[in-house]
């Protein structure tokens, strides 16, 4: 009888932990697989196009937002010609789309860059004369620019810095040269500066 007693006692010691789930390690919790963020690649063709233009002396790069949710170089050019009465149209040298009018992250080259003309964007003669105006489509008082826009902007600025010998300390927001909210409170200027290092 004693022999069976130990048998039942051992069986009981094995069954109780199994009933309470202690004898087996807990089932592994599946870890969701996160896709790595895709790096936005600006087509190199844009920079080979820019290489075709002989550049004049530029000193600054000025960043703007359109303060509108949609648009493109074409729509802003039309507005500047028809509503503002600017004979040379688009006041910026470059426009970067957000997917609502021009592809998200697309760099559009304005006529002022093609002709190496002064801009009509800064509201200040020094910065219009010697400043390259880049406008991102969107209202950054409401939200940040898209990652595609920021990536394209950083690539464009790096290209312009190298081509025109413009130091990072001369890359300004519009509000740095004129009293305005442009390019908006949600524009990540210091993040951009980090990307330019």
Ordered structural domains, the chain, with CATH: 44-195 (3.40.80.10)
Q: What is the pLDDT of residues 128-160, one digit of tens each?
A: 999 999 999 999 999 999 999 999 999 999 999
Which residues contact residue 117 at a Cβ distance below 8 angstroms, ignoring those fewer than 6 apart? 88, 111
The predicted pLDDT at position 1 comes to 53
The rounded mean pLDDT for the chain is 84
167 pLDDT more than 60: yes
pLDDT at 73: 96
pLDDT tens per residue, range 23-76: 444 444 444 444 434 344 455 667 777 777 788 999 999 999 999 999 999 999
pLDDT confidence of 12, banded at 50, 70, 90?
low
pLDDT for residue 19 is more than 80: no
Structure tokens at 184: 């908006």
Q: What's the distance, CA 17 to chain centroid?
A: 56
Say what the pTM is. Answer: 0.78
Phi, psi angle pair for 62, to nearest 5°: -115, 125
DSSP per-residue codes, 58-72: --EEEEEE-SSSS--
**pLDDT, position 108:** 95
What is the mean pLDDT of the segment spanning 93-116? 95
Determine the average pLDDT of the residues in 8-23.
50
């Amino acid at each position: 009888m004693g022999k069976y007693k130990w048998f039942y006692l051992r069986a009981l010691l094995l069954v109780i932990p199994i009933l309470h789930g202690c004898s087996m390690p807990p089932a592994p919790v599946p870890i969701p697989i996160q896709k790595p963020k895709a790096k936005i690649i600006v087509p190199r063709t844009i920079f080979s196009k820019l290489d075709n233009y002989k550049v004049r002396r530029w000193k600054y790069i000025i960043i703007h937002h359109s303060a509108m949710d949609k648009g493109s170089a074409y729509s802003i050019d039309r507005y500047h010609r028809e509503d503002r009465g600017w004979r040379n149209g688009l006041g910026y040298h470059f426009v970067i789309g957000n997917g609502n009018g021009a592809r998200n992250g697309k760099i559009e080259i304005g006529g002022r860059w093609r002709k190496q003309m002064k801009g009509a964007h800064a509201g200040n003669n020094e910065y219009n004369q010697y400043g390259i105006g880049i406008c991102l489509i969107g209202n950054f008082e409401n939200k940040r620019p898209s990652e595609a826009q920021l990536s394209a902007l950083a690539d464009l600025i790096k290209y312009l810095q190298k081509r025109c010998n413009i130091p990072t300390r001369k890359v300004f927001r519009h509000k740095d040269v004129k009293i305005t909210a442009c390019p908006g409170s949600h524009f990540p200027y210091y993040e951009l500066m980090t990307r330019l290092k």
